[in-house]
Chain A
Amino acid sequence: MSSEHQQAIGNVNSFNAFTNYNIVNFNAEIDAEGRQILQWLSPLEPQQRHQGVQTNRLDGIGNWVLGTNEFRKWSVEEDGCVEPVLFCDGNPGVGKTYLRYEDC
């Protein structure tokens, strides 16, 4: 493995599938077989929709949800101390897709 390749792997170490997903790096890091494998795993490309959501989102909306104790506990608590499943329910159009919490 080249040092360049190792560097690239180091960069995606945070495993941040959406925000690290960069089409340029993607092509450089993953070989031809790798690309075939990814296509074989699923035809769906959720990161494309995510970019649309990021563009249309209005900062601050829905912050209260992600500031709740329920969310905080669920996202940071140690394993086994909390229910693994969190469900935000709401009627169509209330903004479930656009929830974002900004640390202040």
Chain B
Amino acid sequence: MIDTLCDQAKGKDIAVVGLYCDFLAQQEQTTTGMLGAILKQLAVGGGISEYIRQAFQEAKKEFGGRSLRLPELVEIMKKAVAPLPRVFICIDALDESTPKHRRAFLESLREIVRASVNTRIFFTGRPHVGDEIMKCFGRVIRIPVSPTRGDIRSYLEMRLGSDTDPDVMDDELRADIMRVIPEKVSEV
């Protein structure tokens, strides 16, 4: 998805940024950590703006050098997306983020989208987080994903092609695998 959008964006002032949520990294995936990761990519792509440097200098003066607070971060992000004709923010596996941080994360994204009509957000996740997204954003375009038989066949061919023990495979077994698994998976 990200690469597809990036291909479309080539040569235009379009930002494509993204984030993979992960059960294993929940400790770092706080609301500010997740939003900060998005801002970081905008900063790498477009250069670190003066207002980001200023916020950093201000924070450094305080004891221990505090991290960005959420309202401040959201304001900075609004400024960062404002000059861009189009920004795509892609969030993968939203359901793997902690519920504790998810709500504030979604609300912050909503605030950014409302402030800038040029920003689009793409989420993937298990169906249950759909309700949370709908509740937060109101209207949402929804596409349910399930693999097609063609997808499953391509995947099986790839896996059979990289079999580390090809001697135990024969034509009959291969044909059975290619027939039965796509049927069974499609029924799920």
Contacts and interface: CB of A to CB of B under 8 A. Distances in A.
A64 to B, nearest CB: 6
B15 A85 contact: no
B11 A86 contact: no
Interface residue tally of chain A, by bracket?
35 or more
A19 to B, nearest CB: 5
Contacts of A75: 5, 8, 88, 120
A15 B46 contact: yes
**Which interface residue of B10, B48, B59 has the most chain A CB atoms within 10 A?**
B48
Interface string A39-55: 01111111101100110
A62 B146 CA distance: 8
A33 interface: yes
A62 B4 CA distance: 12
Interface stretch (B133-141, B164-172, B173-181): B133-141
Nearest to B27: A43
Contacts of A85: 113, 120-123, 133, 137, 139-141
